[in-house]
Amino acid sequence: MAESDSILGAELWAWREKALADAHGAGVDAAEVDWLLMAVADVDRLSLRLGTVRQRFPSGSLRESHITLRYSLAELDRRWQQRLTQRTPVQYLVGETPWRDLMLTVSPAVLIPRPETELIIDLAEAAIARSPIGDQLAQGIWADLGTGSGAIALGLAQTFPSAQILAVDFSSEALAIAQENANRAGLQNRITFYNGSWFEPLAFYRGQLSAVVSNPPYIPSALLPTLQPEVINHEPASALDGGDDGLNDLRILATQAPKFLVPGGLWVVEMMAGQGEAVQELLEAQGCYRDIQVCLDLAGRDRFVQAIYAP
């Protein structure tokens, strides 16, 4: 654990000014400087925007003061240099990231949860609201396959308070972080964690799942070297690589889910933009899915596919 430090607000402000200039020179979003500062120091967003660094006190008052950092200014600068020179994602540098209304612990063992993935929870909620057996499904057993940081499992647990959530990941390191996030959110009693690949640890739940939800690896292997260095050099390749056509794991989810879903159960996954038609064809080929829909993200790109299991 890096040693904490206390410095004058003016000293921290001087560091911020230099960091902003360095960010501009390195082509890094300058907003990340303040993200980093607010994660490691008890400073106020408004004061950063106005040009004064002031400490936030429990009473809500703001005043010029010494600022306590989670670690020394030298360590803060070392981490910022990692961002500039090694393109380490700022989320890994601070060890956490916001997602929906949660703050999630992250490390290079897990994919950083993206804002667009937040929509998968909303899609699931809307699908259950439309379902003639929605009340039954909302109180059933839900599986988040390839849970990573646990983001989707936590979002489901919040949205469906009567559901039992299963979170599966083949990485024990990722699963440990997901469990930490469940504890952090106070949802540890709502989620059961399983170490294994896709449906393999869930044999006991055949024919019992209300929903299968997943953000699997979906990037074609040949495209991996073209990804931003923040992604390809730092995030786990196993969470990115979807095989030759990017559909390896989506095929598993499409073909194996019918063994586990209850009639009328929900199937919803995230995919890469442009894969909607291919995933729809995968589901149609199974002959047991209806109401197959390709859903768009906020940028208007096909990002999700959902369907109802109808044997």
Question: Does residue 1 have a pLDDT over 70?
Answer: no
Nearest alpha-carbon partner for 139 in 118, 161, 170, 119: 161
- Dihedral angle of Cα 168, 172, 175, 177, to the nearest 10 degrees: -160
Rounded Cα distance, 172 and 177, in Å = 9
Rounded Cα distance, 212 and 130, in Å = 17
- Dihedral angle of Cα 180, 182, 186, 187, to the nearest 10 degrees: -160
Segment 16-58, tens digit of pLDDT: 899 999 999 999 998 899 888 888 877 766 566 655 555 444 4
Taken in order of first residue, the domains within the chain and their CATH numbers are 5-86 (no CATH), 115-309 (3.40.50.150)
Q: Return all residues near 249 (Cβ < 8 A) that are at least 6 apart.
A: 146, 198, 216, 217, 218, 242, 243
- How many alpha carbons lie under 13 Å from residue 212 in its C-beta half-sphere? 32
Segment 154-187, tens digit of pLDDT: 999 999 999 999 999 999 999 999 999 999 999 9
pLDDT at position 62 is 45
Segment 94-122, tens digit of pLDDT: 999 999 999 999 999 999 999 999 999 99
Question: Does residue 220 have a pLDDT over 80?
Answer: yes
Alpha carbon of residue 51 to chain centroid = 32
Rounded Cα distance, 280 and 277, in Å = 5
